[in-house]
Amino acid sequence: MPTHPLLARARSLGNPVIEGDLATLVWQGTYPPRVIDDFHNWDESPQKMLRAGAALWYLSISLPADAYLEYAFIDSRTGERIPDPLNPNHIGKGAGVYNHYFYMPQGKPSPLVLPIKGNGQGTVTRHSVSTLDFAVGTQRTVYLYHPAVKKPVPLLIVYDGADYLRQAKLNVIVDNLIAEKRIRPFAMAMVQNSAAARSVEYSCAESTLGLLMECVLPLARENLNLESIKKGGYGIMGASLGGSMALFTALRLPEVFRKVLCQSGAFIAPDYQYVVVDMVNYLPTPDIDIWMDTGRFEWLLDGNRQMFALLKKKNYRVKYNEFSGGHNYTAWRNDVWQGLESIYAK
């Protein structure tokens, strides 16, 4: 019996089969799995595959030409994830969970995540600070990035710092941007999150500001060659809840944090909005610079568009970008260089 042309293409080129703006996922088996993915908001909208032939199933998704998409197959009987034998590309999401992924023809990984031989490379050191009861646990890990320069530099504090370091290769991206003279050199204090209590600490929490001011900043000042804060203040960045927490931090402490990089910030839920929205609405506009981005496939897209519009209405200095991807570190990694160039321009 001849092989179905769709299956032959998937075996030859890998999953999905891409034609124009259509990405077609293929599955061979007696019954089809469900598909969960960035575009359909994962578990909230599992997709049914359609029959393509005997023991052959497919799902076609129309995507932008530069899209990056993560997906997984779910056994429709057991509810368990099952690997895609036609796509070897997968990425770990923690706790033994993997997503498969692919790029559309005009999408590609950022070349900035690869160390370039000959470029000056900064160093990353691991530290532990006492939380002084400002956060869950008695100690918190902080990674310090020292750029490969001798002069004093500004500081950027990064929420979810360990994830940005490991999954987004943030230090490598910064190394390359500095070497290419696309940004001015700066140092980073990358603060580990608290795992189970992350949502509490990043939901506009005053205690987290205490952790930064009383624990993280003294560590950074002691170990990094930093400019005086009077020369322009420090920067603060994060993604998702960490992104909205970054904006909250700058609104609460604008005399310290004057640059904000917010990726896929969580501002507006279906039935309520975070206090940071009221702060933008009702507080005097501080002297800060903001860069925001979000994915076109995210459930947070509308909230970010609304926040950008509100910031513009209130005369904030803000720039905004949308990328063709979902809510994950690969998408943030591929787009973050634009924010770094915006807030740390030469």
DSSP secondary structure code for residue 278 in this structure: H
Residues near 121 by Cβ (< 8 Å), separated by ≥ 6?
115, 148, 175
CA atoms within 13 A on the CB side of 244: 28
Q: Quote the pLDDT of residue 93.
A: 79
Evaluate whether 262 touches 247 at the Cβ level (below 8 Å). Answer: yes
For 162, the token pair is 């360990």
State how far the Cα of 145 lies from the Cα of 333, in Å rounded to an integer. 17
User: How many CB atoms neighbour CB 330 within 10 A?
Assistant: 20
Asked whether the predicted pLDDT for residue 95 surpasses 90, the reply is no
Asked whether the predicted pLDDT for residue 123 surpasses 70, the reply is yes
Between helix 170-179 and helix 329-343 the angle, nearest 10°, is 40
Q: Residue range 281-305: average pLDDT?
A: 96
Which amino acid does the sequence have at 54?
A
Q: Residue range 11-18: average pLDDT?
A: 95
Q: Residue length, the chain?
A: 346
What percentage of the chain has pLDDT greater than the value 90? 89
Q: What is the pTM of this model?
A: 0.94
How does residue 34 score in pLDDT terms, banded at 50, 70 and 90?
very high
How does residue 272 score in pLDDT terms, banded at 50, 70 and 90?
confident
Chosen CATH of 111-343 out of 3.40.50.1820, 3.90.550.10, 1.10.760.10, 1.10.3720.10: 3.40.50.1820
Q: Is 196 exposed, middle or buried (0-12, 13-18, 19+ CB in 10 A)?
A: exposed
Query: Please, what CATH class does the domain formed by 5-103 belong to?
Result: mainly beta
Mean pLDDT (the chain) is 95
- Strand spans (E) along 63-154: 68-74, 81-82, 90-94, 97-103, 123-130, 139-146
Domain ranges of the chain: 5-103, 111-343
Phi-psi label, residue 20: left if phi above 0, alpha if psi -120 to 50, beta otherwise: left
Residues near 257 by Cβ (< 8 Å), separated by ≥ 6?
157, 233, 234, 235, 236, 249, 250, 288
Q: What are phi and psi of 135, to 5 degrees?
A: -150, 170
Convert the pLDDT of each residue in 299-342 to its tens digit: 999 999 999 999 999 999 999 999 999 999 999 999 999 999 99
Q: Is 195 exposed, middle or buried (0-12, 13-18, 19+ CB in 10 A)?
A: exposed
First-residue to last-residue Cα distance in the chain? 64
Q: State how far the alpha carbon of 86 is from the alpha carbons of 11, 75, 142, in Å.
A: 6, 16, 40
Evaluate whether 7 touches 28 at the Cβ level (below 8 Å). Answer: yes
How does residue 116 score in pLDDT terms, banded at 50, 70 and 90?
confident
Asked whether the predicted pLDDT for residue 230 surpasses 90, the reply is no
Evaluate whether 215 touches 221 at the Cβ level (below 8 Å). Answer: no
Full 3-state SS string of 139-203: EEEEEEEECCCCCCECEEEECCHHHHHHCCCHHHHHHHHHHCCCECCCEEEEECCCHHHHHHHHC
Evaluate whether 284 touches 315 at the Cβ level (below 8 Å). Answer: no
Quickly tell me which residue has 């979000």 as its tokens: 294
Helix (H) or strand (E) holding 11: helix 5-13
Q: Quote the pLDDT of residue 1.
A: 59
Q: Quote the pLDDT of residue 196.
A: 87
User: Which of 294, 296, 304, 239 minimizes the C-alpha distance to 65?
Assistant: 296
Convert the pLDDT of each residue in 43-84 to its tens digit: 999 999 999 999 999 999 999 999 999 999 999 999 999 999
Q: Quote the pLDDT of residue 2.
A: 73
